[in-house]
Structure 1
Amino acid sequence: MQQQRVLMISVSAGSGHVRAAEALLEVTPQFHDVHAQHIDVMHHVSRSFKGVYSDFYKHLIQHAPALWAYLYKKTDDAQQTDISTLLRRSIERFCTKDLIRKINEFQPDHIVCTHFLPAELLSREIKQGRMTCPVWVQVTDFDLHNLWVQPNMSGFFAANHEVAFKMRERGIAPEMVHVTGIPVSQVFLQAKQIPNAKQLNRAELGLQVDVPTILILNGGARIGTVSEIAERLLRCNPQLQVISVAGNNPQRLQECQKLATQYPGRLVAIGFSKTIEKLMAASDMVVTKPGGLTSSECLIMGLPMILVDPIPGQEERNGDFLMEQGAALKVHDIAGLDYKVRQLLADPNRLETMRNNMLEMGKPSAANDVLTRVLEKTHAAS
């Protein structure tokens, strides 16, 4: 059998799309005669395009979320033939010629897009006869936006049956729609399966092994910074210990480290973590934004979520889905956060129910299932 070349294409507008592509790349050694590669669109476009597409997006969600919410709905309602849509596509094609060259150099037999931008660009390449290999789309949210629905694709992978239903409603042939979940790194499943994982990871962090633990991944404008959330929870809940993650923000990390000296043995302050799965395994609940990948990771870990400051549009819809399924609670201010944490600590049965709901929804084999489907026809033909 001839070696199959599989290309994963993501966009680093937010980290979730990249993590989904990396999760797919991670499982390729499980398949025989497959050579895979992952490329990020933003590494192969002009600086001006990256500034507009990625940096401007990040600026909008941080400083003008209401405007982003409007643009999200506007583009969701837009038709393929709208003048604004055609103009946007012309600009994208002009600024991404190097990306097309990079794809052609790899000579893929299959392409999986974990962002709608490369799917949109490659749809035109297929239409013009300049590309013949199958292109697949992995939706990385728990709801469907119109930009994911591109013509000339070989198939679409959905996070759940509702997304699949909406795909069919928007004209995608039923045989092209597959419910696989969102690809997540296998380290999350492995971390959960270690015997006594919670106690072992707490001990490794220097925390007490039998004390309720909450992981803080995000703050927000209305909730407060990570350190402010940690301070409120520690001060008002003496029976609680906290893991705070400041990410790549040195100021926030310094604030958390200073706070840790006031609560010795009860607060672990971490900057950027490459082993977030261990922090999740050590925790009983997490304060976070409902990004598609973070949510999928929490589902696999069975880690109940308290949602703060979701990005209007995709994260709000993700949050709605998770709350409907009994996997998450949402808070609007720090007092509400404190109240809901107290409720969960006082009601272990409710916390366990949320955990079980999450485990039922989790799709730990999503990455494997996606690649199995992509390679299915090739293997059948051999």
Structure 2
Amino acid sequence: YEVLISKNSRLYNHFYYKKNYNEYSQVDDIIYNLYLPKISSYICSIDPRVIISTFPVCSGFISKYKEKYHSTIPLVTCITDVVDSWEWIHPNTNMYFVANDEIKEKLIKKGVSKEIIYPSGIPVRSQFFNRQENSPLLNVFNISVEDYIVLIMGGGMGILPEEKEFYI
């Protein structure tokens, strides 16, 4: 992901936005078929009991792997965003963890079985819940340790959608 973003972010953005609105792309199959033998070799070498994915491309690769190699390894996809984009939805996924009930309902409307969707919130590093009394942020901005600080991030590597609706 980081290499693709740093070397060719336009290409990544093109596929990201296309996948946001389209369930299927022939380009996906080309890419999957190119890397599936390596993925198969790796999976066979570690023999996992379950695969948990927090990145949509990885979920896609594992879903295709399960289909092609008739694998029964459970695939759990943890959607680490508040979206219902098609890029996260793959037919051989056994379980989805989603941010909230709204995302669950949107996935159901896209054909995902409600029995495999679990609203769990978005995973946050536990360090963010600890109050840091000696943080430079508190001193520079004269913030009390009792105040709440909201961190707003723009997705992986700071990329935010270009659509105006996102900001309304």
- TM-score per shorter chain, which class? 0.7 to 0.9
Name the CA distance, whole Å, in 1 between partners of 2:19 and 2:54. Answer: 18
Gaps of 5+ in 2: none
Kindly, what percent of the aligned residue pairs are identical? 22
Equivalent of 1:290 in 142, 151, 154? 154
More strand by share: 1
Equivalent of 1:92 in 35, 38, 41? 35
Report the number of matched residues.
168
Q: Which residue of 2 aligns with 1:311?
A: 159
Query: Is the CA contact 1:144–1:163 (under 8 Å) kept in the aligned structure 2?
Result: yes
Deviation at 1:132, TM superposition (A): 1.6
SS at match of 2:111: coil
* 1:1-23: CA deviation from partner (whole Å, max 9, x where unpaired): xxxxxxxxxxxx2xxxxxxxxxx
Q: Which has the greater radius of gyration? A: 1
* 1:218-276: CA deviation from partner (whole Å, max 9, x where unpaired): xxxxxxxxxxxxxxxxxxxxxxxxxxxxxxxxxxxxxxxxxxxxxxxxxxxxxxxxxxx
Deviation at 1:185, TM superposition (A): 2.3
Name the CA distance, whole Å, in 1 between partners of 2:139 and 2:60. Answer: 50
Query: Is the CA contact 1:158–1:181 (under 8 Å) kept in the aligned structure 2?
Result: yes
Q: Which residue of 1 aligns with 2:143?
A: 212
Query: Is the CA contact 1:68–1:312 (under 8 Å) kept in the aligned structure 2?
Result: no
Query: Structure 2-normalised TM-score?
Result: 0.76
* 1:66-117: CA deviation from partner (whole Å, max 9, x where unpaired): x65543221223343x4333223223325xx1x4333223222221111122
Gaps of 5+ in 1: 1-12, 14-53, 214-280, 295-309, 325-382
Equivalent of 2:5 in 57, 66, 73? 57
Query: Structure 1-normalised TM-score?
Result: 0.37
Letter in 1 for 2:109: E
Q: Which residue of 1 aligns with 2:15?
A: 71
CA RMSD of aligned residues (A): 3.6
Deviation at 1:201, TM superposition (A): 2.2
Name the CA distance, whole Å, in 1 between partners of 2:139 and 2:62. Answer: 52
Query: Is the CA contact 1:116–1:148 (under 8 Å) kept in the aligned structure 2?
Result: yes
Q: Which residue of 1 aligns with 2:101?
A: 161
Letter in 1 for 2:143: P
Query: Is the CA contact 1:60–1:68 (under 8 Å) kept in the aligned structure 2?
Result: yes
SS at match of 1:201: coil
